[in-house]
Structure 1
Amino acid sequence: MTSPSKLLSFYLAVFLTCPLFTSMAQDGPVRNSILPYLHQEATALSAGFPPQNLSPSDWENRRPELYQQFIEMMGFSMEGPRTAPPVRHTGTIQEDGFTIEKFYFESLPGLFVPANLYLPDDTSSPRPLVLYLCGHAPGQKAHYQAHPRKLAQLGFASLIFDTVQFGEVDGHHWGPYNKGWFHWYSRGYNPAAVELWNAIRALDYLAEREEVDMNNVGVTGISGGGSQSWYLAAADPRIKAAAPVCGAGTLDSQIGDRRIDGHCDCMMPNNTFQMDFTDIGALIAPKPLLIAQSDRDELYGVESTREFYQMLSSFYKNLEAEDHVSLVITPGGHSYHEKSRKAIFSFFLKHLMGKNVSPGQIADIETDPAALLPAESLAVYGDSPPEGDLTPVIQDHFLKIPSPPEINSEKELEEQRKKVKEYLSTHTFGAFPKAAASFEGKEIYRTADLAPFGNKTFAFNSEKGWRLKLNVFYRQNPDENHPLVIILSSPGEERWDSESFAQKIARGQNVAYLEVRGTGEAGWAPELNWHVRRAAAWTGRTLPSMQVYDALRALDYARTLPGVDPEKISIAARDGMGLVAMYAAFLDEECEKLILSHPPETHDQPSPVNGRDTALELLNVLKITDMYQIPALIAPTQTSFLGDVPEAYLWSEQSLKKAGKSGFIRQ
């Protein structure tokens, strides 16, 4: 076997002296760049909005599918009957003209939500209700109390409750944001879903209160509460009017201007079905909608908000409800302004009470802290929260990860394979291009050195904006078709790492090296990884899903090359890139072999806070399968491991044996 040092010396000599290396005509400048690509994809999500010539009847036919997709992205179901959640009252405060009830409700078994209900003293007739949804501010019920106080003074019932983060019990909104919990994407988990569910369950409780008029329900809030106002108005038909503040913008601005870098993970659902916020706005239409935005908001460019508003206005116009959507712009940063607050109060008086009261006729909220209640007065729990409260760990309980299926026959294995592939095609890889780009393949480099029959480098289009290279080393005569092993380069690998791997797994065979997005020439500075991984999820993809697509395209392109037997192509990878090789082989269905060295065993593992490791997240994948199950699902493609088979993969080996397909996992 050639030693690594001798191999290194040989390659250095060849690359430094070979005239072809410097004189071969190149394929033109390759502008692979992840940031323009993500911006391009974000822009495309709203490019067709609003649909042209959409009538109210057309929308009634199309809305149910979009609604179901939105609810599914949130991770729960609105179907079936729901009873009111259990509630425990802990106190009442009498204020001038209204009372504040303190209680908590059990949104899910073990998930307790502390709340304050503001009720006018006069409830001789049911009062219209406004939910106030909190943003990301510590001591939430106290921090935002001036808003429900004012609503109660205007005659509304108003409920305010803590979010999972920054409430009386502090849980987590920030997973990928600052903890490296990118596996939330694989779980299909987003903290926005918990907050939306809590709001829905709050309405389930209030529906039983005789003081509340459930025919006239509104919702408002700022920042995180603003985005939640969009979600609740889109999800729950009981909401009649919504006034979100500083809580939405088009994705092209969020991604293109990198404004998402300042956003909590809850500010956009895991975008399984590639929605823009305009689609969420469409689900609210034709309900009355007031959008409030400040003009120098760090998190939302006001130009984007104006564009967003214009698109929604056109949509409302198609539904013959143009007068139901409005925009108020206020001076300043990411915050309220007297102008927006008064506009919101006037809006709810009109649409929930039928009163035409101009903003100028309404007094502003109480802004003197001394006139407001201290946090301890509004606290619900007192000394301690209920025993067993799941708030700090709800991310581990909100969605159920299924146990691996029991495979006992070839039929069961085939049924599981079809089930997984159908699910992944729509819920994990749904952002794959609808139509494959032309390869426009071209030989851009060749040499008679480096391998017994030389080396050729081919360039091809993976998709719009990405032109990759397949570097083929012919150890067999290229005038005849022979097997080919495609080796995926790893991000940050040392020089010659892939070549050394090839010496161990494919000695004497034709070998091709591929750098997918995020690696080698198609890579980017590692400090961008955190942004890229979050921005990708906002557009309905992940870094690994883009890499899987590149690998799939390379497999197809390799079948067109000289000297390649199209029925005998294998794919190989080390460490985390094993994920890419596995799913590419699964989706391709024509690979002869899958060769892995130290692959990860599961998607369900965190990353460093800075996100600079090899990404393992695929949207929603853990709802249907996991990495260690893929070798069983790709049979008859053979799986070989360099070194010991990781323990979790024994599930695949055992399942194959039960299905009568033993021998497909080789060590």
Structure 2
Amino acid sequence: MKRILVAVILLISIHKMSRAQTADDAYKIPLVNVLGQIETLFSVSITFKPELVSGIIVPYGEWKIDPTNLEYSLIHILAPFDLTFHQIDLRKYEVRKYEYARNSIYYGKNQLNRLSSAYQNQSDWEERKALLKACFLETLGFPQILHNPILSVFKSDFRKYKRYSVENVALEIFPGVYTTGSIYRPIGTKKKNHPAILSPNGHFANGRYGNDQQIRNAMLASMGAIVVSYDLFAWGESLLQFHEDDHRTSTAAKMQLIHGVKWLDYLLNLPEADSERVAVTGGSGGGSQTLMLTAIDDRIKVSAPVVMVSSHFSGGCPCESGLPYHLCGQRTNNAEVSAMAAPKPQLIVSDGKDWTRTVPNLEFPFIQRIYGFYDADSLAVNAHFENEGHDYGVSKRGAVYTFMAEFLELDQKKHLQGNGSFDESFITIEEEDKMKVFGVEGEKLPKHAIHGLDALVEILMEYSK
């Protein structure tokens, strides 16, 4: 009798488990179907690559949809599969593989709200800023490296053009390690002291040899500044020492900021440079450098990050975000890094077709609030180009020229046309070979120059002790 009773109980248990399993199976829905339900419920369009979602089954798929919150629903459903989403426009979203450096606008809003609640006045903010700066320097391994002197300077091919000159220059910043660039100077001016401007280039075509980069530097020089444009790490002439794959490394993130600091050391040691009028401006990856250099180097007085400020994107290349300084202070972002410039004049240039499209309504109010702690609201400026995309084109350059002229006391009058635009027609676009410091084939590269990332990492470890 006992055996029969045990058997009956076992059958009942199995039946219940079977029914429960059947119920569970009924709640398992293909991800494609869940996304379709979200589209219908919220009247949006969700795009994705078929191979990204193929075969994915979402347990309790319908239950995970919050009918009051689209973004929360997407996070809840996609995150277990290492997927995320991005808002393309008001009613269009895209499912993508998770990227550590790229988040949703929803995420950016929430993070800025959290950060805003952490400081209510200048004292709170200064404490936060000091914490972030110290963490940045530690993460970059900079405290010791910043004080190392430039070991040697190599110059070649001085050229003179209308209103400005160009010279190829390389700095030996560690034994056998060079950063290469072009220095633009004003000519035909009676002024003895000139502002110094760092001009890091981004991942635009041809780097520092690109037309837009050359035009910007030549114009700022002709307006009265000394400008240096220098190669990204493992780009341009840096490829004489390193492989192009070395660019997409965390070492590149460190080296590019070291380059900026050392070029500033060099410029400010020139007798004609005015240490009180120092600026930095770059676009895209150059914008990332602009933000970080301004945050860590107090010598910079004016900044203009172009098409890079964002609360939800911190740079798609490891050369920008490969070191975890965005994890400092229990997580920061480029909008907060931008705010670290306060109360120094800063022009934030954004456009409507990349990750900076949210700047006018999201990031800029956050940044301007922090400038308000210093009663310096007017010193934070946003130039937004809604119908433009990701570049450092003519309209963006014009905004930067005007801003730099105001805060660096540059002469823009002779360059302005009747319609208010700038005349850049006098500028000579140089061939790439002419801009190379070490010769067309690198034949002038010193024999003791190191080669390879491993050799560089050994040097960095030694200098960081």
Cα distance in 1 between the residues matched to 2:145 and 2:456: 23
1:125 equivalent to 2:182? Answer no
Preserved CA contact (<8 Å) 1:73 1:272: no
Match of 2:55 in 1: none
Residue of structure 2 aligned with 1:363, choices 411, 414, 422? 422
Evaluate the alpha carbon distance shift between residue 19 and residue 313 of structure 1 in structure 2; reply closer, same or farther with a 3 A threshold: same
Cα distance, 1:157 vs. partner?
A: 0.9
Match of 1:136 in 2: 203
Map 1:114-513 onto structure 2 (within 5 A). Answer: 114-121=180-187, 122=189, 124-143=191-210, 144-170=213-239, 171=242, 189-251=250-312, 254=313, 263-268=316-321, 269-270=323-324, 271-273=326-328, 274-297=331-354, 300-304=355-359, 306-330=361-385, 331-353=387-409, 361=420, 363-366=422-425, 371-382=428-439, 383-384=441-442, 385-390=445-450, 392-393=452-453, 397=457
Cα distance, 1:390 vs. partner?
A: 4.4
Preserved CA contact (<8 Å) 1:138 1:167: no
Preserved CA contact (<8 Å) 2:201 2:285: yes
Preserved CA contact (<8 Å) 2:260 2:293: yes
Evaluate the alpha carbon distance shift between residue 222 and residue 80 of structure 1 in structure 2; reply closer, same or farther with a 3 A threshold: closer
Preserved CA contact (<8 Å) 1:164 1:172: no
Q: Report the residue type matching 1:140 in the other structure.
A: G
Unaligned runs of 5+ in 2: 1-12, 25-58, 65-75, 85-97
Unaligned runs of 5+ in 1: 1-16, 178-183, 403-622, 624-667
1:23 equivalent to 2:82? Answer no
Preserved CA contact (<8 Å) 2:347 2:383: yes
Bigger radius of gyration: 1
Q: Report the residue type matching 2:229 in the other structure.
A: I
Cα distance, 1:66 vs. partner?
A: 1.6
Cα distance in 2 between the residues matched to 1:366 and 1:247: 28
Evaluate the alpha carbon distance shift between residue 174 and residue 312 of structure 1 in structure 2; reply closer, same or farther with a 3 A threshold: farther
Evaluate the alpha carbon distance shift between residue 272 and residue 341 of structure 1 in structure 2; reply closer, same or farther with a 3 A threshold: same
Cα distance in 2 between the residues matched to 1:221 and 1:374: 21
Evaluate the alpha carbon distance shift between residue 246 and residue 388 of structure 1 in structure 2; reply closer, same or farther with a 3 A threshold: farther
Preserved CA contact (<8 Å) 1:85 1:201: no
1:607-663 Cα offsets, whole Å, 9 max, x none, are: xxxxxxxxxxxxxxxx9xxxxxxxxxxxxxxxxxxxxxxxxxxxxxxxxxxxxxxxx
- Number of equivalences: 366
Residue of structure 2 aligned with 1:109, choices 175, 179, 184? 175
Cα distance, 1:321 vs. partner?
A: 0.9
Aligned residues with identical type, % of pairs? 22
Cα distance, 1:317 vs. partner?
A: 1.2
Q: Report the residue type matching 1:33 in the other structure.
A: L
Match of 1:8 in 2: none
Cα distance in 2 between the residues matched to 1:342 and 1:42: 29
Cα distance, 1:20 vs. partner?
A: 4.8
Preserved CA contact (<8 Å) 2:246 2:453: no
Match of 2:154 in 1: 88
Cα distance, 1:349 vs. partner?
A: 1.0
Select the structure that is richer in helix: 2
Evaluate the alpha carbon distance shift between residue 80 and residue 73 of structure 1 in structure 2; reply closer, same or farther with a 3 A threshold: closer
Match of 2:78 in 1: 33
Cα distance in 1 between the residues matched to 2:409 and 2:389: 31
Q: Secondary structure at the match of 2:263?
A: helix
Cα distance in 1 between the residues matched to 2:361 and 2:340: 19
1:10-37 Cα offsets, whole Å, 9 max, x none, are: xxxxxxx954543237696575632459
1:247-278 Cα offsets, whole Å, 9 max, x none, are: 22112xx39xxxx6xx2223334233221112
Alpha-carbon RMSD: 3.4
Cα distance, 1:113 vs. partner?
A: 1.0
Q: Secondary structure at the match of 1:112?
A: strand
Cα distance in 2 between the residues matched to 1:62 and 1:214: 27
Q: Report the residue type matching 1:265 in the other structure.
A: P
Preserved CA contact (<8 Å) 1:249 1:305: no
Residue of structure 2 aligned with 1:64, choices 111, 130, 136? 130
Cα distance in 1 between the residues matched to 2:117 and 2:411: 34
